[in-house]
């Protein structure tokens, strides 16, 4: 039978289950909402839905890596106790397998679409029913390497921060691999937003300028010197927010760009950081 959106909405309000699950339940029960509630409860889906409003600030970031692809997914839960179990980590990896095939390449970490989560609701809810906690799929990143690119990844010991980095170099060298690892460690600790100032849009910079001008006027600075102060603050903004200009986390006497230059000199080959992404839970 055809199931109306009104019935689906009613069932969702009662159970909180996904659209596709509600539609299936109503189809199986010939549009009987109460019977559909029982149907969902038997499947463990209504139970999962009741947990869906609970806070998910714990979890793990899981990684899948092949020769030229790198994929990271945040799978969130309620408690650190559950997140640390081998069973949860295995289930998170299985969820990553489920989403990996259907998610496209990204430049930065982005949220998994609600449509795709709904499409895979059964897989998610199976985990919820088994673990007894609210489980949510969070941000992901997926890099596909191109010619001369090298993909590196790092998961923080807490399991809650993951970093993916793509470095371009014509050589493949141990020093390059060490550089990739160090950049991952740095990005995990310092959380840059951009690779370099060239990535920052003029809209973002102008928004910062407006804020800085207002701050200067509030502090009573003369108009004739405000613009110079503002541009100085913009330079500082770029230094602090961009990966290449940040002081390296493990040796603040040098910037990340200087670290890259040292590597390039050591292996006698140009090295460029093309992109990075930081996937995290609960920060």
In this predicted model, what pLDDT tens digit does every residue of 230-281 receive, in sequence order? 999 999 999 999 999 999 999 999 999 999 999 999 999 999 999 999 999 9
User: How much is the pTM?
Assistant: 0.77
Query: Which residues touch 63 (CB under 8 Å, ≥6 apart)?
Result: 70, 71, 72, 96, 153, 155, 162
φ and ψ of 225, to 5 deg? -110, -5
Give CA torsion, residues 55, 56, 58, 62, to 10 deg. Answer: 180
Helices (H), the chain: 5-15, 19-28, 33-42, 45-50, 80-83, 86-100, 114-119, 121-131, 174-190, 202-218, 223-241, 256-267
Helices 223-241, 202-218: crossing angle, 10 deg rounding: 130
**pLDDT at site 16:** 67
Q: Which two tokens stand for residue 76?
A: 């969130």
Low-confidence ranges of the chain (pLDDT < 70): 1, 13, 16, 41-55, 283
Q: How far is the C-alpha of 140 from the C-alpha of 61, rounded, in Å?
A: 9
């Amino acid at each position: 039978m055809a199931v109306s959106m009104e019935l689906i909405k009613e069932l969702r309000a009662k159970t909180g289950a996904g659209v596709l699950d509600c539609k299936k339940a109503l189809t199986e029960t010939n549009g009987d909402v109460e019977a559909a509630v029982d149907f969902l409860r038997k499947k463990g889906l209504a139970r999962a839905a009741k947990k869906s409003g609970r806070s998910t600030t714990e979890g793990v970031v899981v990684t899948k890596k092949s020769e030229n692809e790198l994929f990271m997914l945040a799978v969130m839960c309620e408690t650190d106790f559950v997140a640390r179990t081998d069973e949860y980590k295995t289930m998170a990896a299985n969820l990553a397998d489920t989403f990996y095939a259907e998610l496209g390449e990204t430049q930065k970490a982005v949220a998994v679409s609600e449509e795709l989560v709904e499409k895979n609701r059964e897989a998610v809810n199976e985990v919820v029913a088994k673990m007894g906690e609210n489980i949510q799929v969070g941000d992901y990143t997926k890099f596909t390497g191109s010619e001369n690119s090298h993909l590196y990844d790092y998961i923080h010991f807490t399991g809650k921060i993951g970093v993916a980095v793509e470095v371009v170099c014509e050589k493949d060298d141990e020093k390059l691999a060490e550089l990739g690892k160090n950049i991952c460690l740095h990005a995990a600790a310092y959380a840059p937003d951009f690779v370099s100032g060239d990535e920052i849009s003029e809209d973002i910079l102008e928004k910062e300028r407006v804020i800085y001008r207002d701050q200067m006027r509030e502090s009573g600075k003369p108009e004739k010197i405000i613009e110079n102060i503002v541009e100085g603050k913009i330079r500082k903004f770029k230094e602090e927010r961009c990966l290449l200009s940040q002081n390296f986390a493990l040796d603040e006497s040098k910037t990340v760009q200087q670290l890259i230059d040292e590597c390039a000199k050591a292996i006698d080959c140009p090295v460029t950081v093309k992109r990075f992404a930081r996937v995290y839970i609960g920060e």
